[in-house]
Structure 1
Amino acid sequence: MNCTAIIVAAGSSRRMGFDKLAASLGGIPVLARTVATFMDCPDIAEIILVTPQERMSLLDQSRFTKPLIRIDGGEERHLSVAAGLAVVSGKSDFIAVHDAARPLVSQADIAATVLAAKEHGAASLARRVTETLKRSDDSDFMIGAISRENLWFMETPQIFQADLLRSAYRHILEENILVTDETSAIEALGEKVKLIPSTSPNTKITTPADLQTL
């Protein structure tokens, strides 16, 4: 089974106020940590890195043990993924899409998601909702509870049979459907996605406070 990883790193980090992918995490840039995990993962055959050229300086290219192709992204996340899909090798049976801002994903969780995608055609790493959920009115006053049963926080990687993901992206682009992750594109085709519980922290860095908790 041949799996290509598309690592999405095209964002400008506007909410951070600085380039979060260049931020140091244990002395290593966030982007470099993410790429290294997929480089070292036996389940990944090649990497498509969707990021501006200037971010390549964050990486230690002497550690590249498998093919890595860098391409520019689009203005929206789904357009960046579409750009990555366009250069994935035709030999790839499966495609994993991962947010570069999730630098702590484990190789074990990647492997588990690859295995689930092989069995089900589509799988995503995710985390069960465990907090109490409440709904508010427009003035932020609590008005009721929401059951957390069968609710999940979506994570990445999200991994799919290659032709299925290509079909899903053709559909959303042709129909001008805006999606925030690949499972939504698969859902738009009426297909199911198997959810795999993450077994280790897989935080997405969005605000400066997120860096302080890692």
Structure 2
Amino acid sequence: MFDTDSLITNHDLPKRMSCAAIIVAAGRSQRMGFDKMLSMLNGQPVLQWTLDAFLEAEEIDMIMVVTSAERFAKLDPRSGKPVLRIEGDKERYLSVIRGMEALPSKPDYVTVHDGARPLVLPSQINAVVQAARTEGAAALARRMTETLKRTDEHCVTSESLSRENLWIMETPQAFRFDTLSEAYKLIQKRGIQVTDEVSAAEAFGVTSKLVENQRPNPKVTVSGDLPLAEAILNSLHS
């Protein structure tokens, strides 16, 4: 068991959890030149917006934030839901594994979310977890609406690709805890590279139900993403 920090030192940890959330916020934000997780978005840090959504989501019993102690210290729990912290690792999937292993007890389900997606709604989190309870695995995603082209190595178009049944993957992504745990053991053993948990589950032979997202849920990756996220927030609360 790893040593963890807690935002709620006087709150009893649940003896049994139905669903725990892993919020991945371990990156160094090198592409932005400053800490995107602590960047202010409508008066509070990006990571606080993300945390607030999971604190409000009824399907979530506990939250494990995979991040630095400095970032964690700037968060406000705002409720009695247990919020723990564990240091991240050099790769995203390793950070997810650390977060899962650091949970004080094994939940039935686990949902993973990028800390840099601050516009996720509690209702979306609940919908993904509920779909996972029915299907075993689920994720938030958007239908592909743009025209797709394949090119050669010189960036010259060679063909058009059909958008039918193509989706853009987002987070949160939720799974039976044992499914995701075993999937990550498998990809580590085989040296498979994955960029999200759905890909890890696929390598393990598990398909995921996609929950359609019809509103913006961008990932804050570069500085130009912050004004866009702020504009979306303003439009939602206008």
CA contact (8 A) 1:106 1:200 kept: no
Matched with 1:156 is 171
CA distance in structure 1 between the partners assigned to 2:226 and 2:87 by the alignment:
25
What is the correspondence of 1:60-99 to structure 2 with a 5 Å cutoff? 60-61=76-77, 63-99=78-114
The match for 1:127 among 131, 138, 142 is 142
Matched with 1:46 is 62
CA distance in structure 1 between the partners assigned to 2:160 and 2:186 by the alignment:
36
List alignment gaps of at least 5 residues for structure 2. 1-16, 230-238
4+ long deviations beyond 6 Å: none
Shift of 1:20: 0.7
Matched, 1:24 2:54: no
CA distance in structure 2 between the partners assigned to 1:177 and 1:115 by the alignment:
29
The match for 2:198 among 183, 196, 205 is 183
CA contact (8 A) 2:36 2:46 kept: yes
Look up the equivalent residue of 1:2 and give its one-letter code. S
Shift of 1:58: 2.5
Look up the equivalent residue of 1:86 and give its one-letter code. E
Deviates more, 1:138-147 or 1:19-28: 138-147
> Alignment partner of 1:49: what SS?
strand
> In the TM superposition, what whole-angstrom CA distance separates every residue of 1:122-164 from its partner, at most 9, and x where no partner exists?
0011111001111222222222211111111100000001111
Matched with 2:13 is none
Shift of 1:89: 3.9
Matched with 1:141 is 156
Shift of 1:91: 4.5
Deviates more, 1:182-191 or 1:138-147: 138-147
TM-score normalised by the chain length of structure 2: 0.86
TM-score normalised by the chain length of structure 1: 0.95
Matched, 1:104 2:119: yes
Matched with 2:186 is 171
CA contact (8 A) 2:106 2:177 kept: no
Look up the equivalent residue of 1:116 and give its one-letter code. A
The match for 1:15 among 31, 35, 58 is 31
Shift of 1:57: 3.0
- Paired residues in the alignment total 213
List alignment gaps of at least 5 residues for structure 1. none
